[in-house]
Amino acid sequence: MFRSAVLRSVSGIRGLVRLQPSYAAPLQARCYSHGAQETDEEFDARWVTYFNKPDIDAWELRKGMNTLIGYDLVPEPKILDAALRACRRLDDLASAVRILEAVKEKAGPHKEIYPYVIQELKPTLEELGIPTPEELGIDRA
């Protein structure tokens, strides 16, 4: 335990002196995760399962997309397919278009990624009646 501060008088001046603790602090150890790493296929399957939940609500959809977009990756088309189908189940066109905008933004300077994703999602977009941001004219600032 720490001893309380002791006041001493030195040459008529009162000063506050702190005593050293009577124990030595242990060194801090770093803990690293040695658990199993998730493969790309397991990651994709986990997110597809998340968006395929039949009782997913709008909050869960937004939370999932925010988490997914927060990763340092562009989601695979099969994950986006499941997310867009969740938007359709919720009758939420705005979220579906926002997902496509987020993917375009996430692709960043890699201009070949977004057209590839749209190409892969084209059958789903047509089936669900979801227009792309380009078709809506909202891709221009």
Is the pTM above the cut of 0.85? no
Phi, psi of 58, deg, nearest 5: -60, -35
Integer Cα distance of 50 and 44 in angstroms: 10
Average pLDDT per 10 consecutive residues for the chain, totaling 141 residues: 42 51 58 78 97 96 96 96 98 96 93 96 97 89 57
**Fold annotation for 40-136:** 1.25.40
DSSP 77: H
pLDDT at 11: 47
pLDDT at 5: 42
N-terminal to C-terminal alpha carbon distance within the chain: 63
The domain ranges of the chain are 40-136
pLDDT at 36: 79
- Provide the 3-class DSSP secondary structure of residue 83: helix
Are 16 and 7 contacting, i.e. CB atoms less than 8 angstroms apart?
yes
Phi, psi of 112, deg, nearest 5: -85, -15
Integer Cα distance of 50 and 56 in angstroms: 8
Integer Cα distance of 97 and 103 in angstroms: 10
Measure Cα distances from 116 to 6, 61, 75, 124 in Å. 72, 23, 12, 14
